[in-house]
């Protein structure tokens, strides 16, 4: 299988390393904390995996990033979510971990590193306002989101 790159540059997707039956979406984030709508890339991965009915697992193989499902219509929602997280889980709070990103780990645990997404008729079946967000909590970095059949 081939991979997917997000966000698009020039052409919409670029290949990334994958192993069957997993499709790896490459996600390039642009800030320390950022919620990126990756729904189109996940939907493409579902088609590529050939999953017809059931579910796909969207898995973040990092410890300072996460994935979630929420509203994508009004970008203010993601902004408000990000602001609450940044305010309640401050970057500097006398943490022990020397890398200075304990807040990123805490955010990743609370939001969660995977989502199981329903598929029917070969398509991702989300609610009307739902979108899939890759959540960067220690960027900017080049990240992976792995989508696989279960």
150 binds a copy of itself (CB under 8 A): yes
CA distance 141 to 135: 12
84 binds a copy of itself (CB under 8 A): yes
* Nearest CB to a copy of itself, comparing residues 50 and 74: 74
Interface region with a copy of itself, contact rule CB under 8 A, candidates 2-10, 24-32, 41-49, 109-117: 109-117
Applying CB under 8 A, among 1, 14, 16, 69 the residue interacting with a copy of itself is: 69
Block residue for tokens 């994935």? 67
Q: How many CB atoms lie within 10 A of CB 149?
A: 17
* Crossing angle for the helix pair 75-88 and 102-111, to the nearest 10 degrees: 130
Residue 121 makes CB contacts below 8 A (sequence gap 6+) with: 52, 53
19 binds a copy of itself (CB under 8 A): yes
Question: Nearest Cα to 29, choosing from 135, 115, 103?
Answer: 135
Binding site for a copy of itself (CB under 8 A): 19, 21-22, 53-55, 57, 59-63, 68-71, 74, 76-77, 79-81, 83-84, 88-89, 93, 95-99, 102, 105-106, 108-116, 118, 120, 125-130, 144, 146, 148-150
């Amino acid at each position: 299988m081939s991979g997917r790159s997000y966000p698009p540059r020039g052409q919409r997707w670029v290949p990334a390393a994958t192993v069957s039956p997993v499709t790896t979406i490459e996600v390039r984030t642009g800030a320390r904390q950022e919620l990126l709508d990756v729904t189109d890339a996940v939907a493409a991965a579902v088609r590529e995996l050939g999953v017809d009915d059931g579910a796909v697992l969207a898995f973040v193989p990092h410890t300072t990033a996460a994935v979630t499902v929420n509203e994508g219509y009004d970008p203010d929602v993601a902004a408000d979510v990000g602001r609450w997280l940044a305010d309640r889980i401050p970057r500097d709070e006398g943490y022990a971990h020397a890398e200075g990103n304990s807040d990123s780990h805490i955010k990743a645990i609370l939001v969660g590193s995977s989502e199981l997404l329903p598929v029917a008729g070969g398509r991702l079946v989300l609610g009307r306002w739902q979108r899939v967000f890759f959540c960067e909590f220690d960027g900017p970095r080049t990240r992976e989101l792995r989508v696989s059949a279960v």
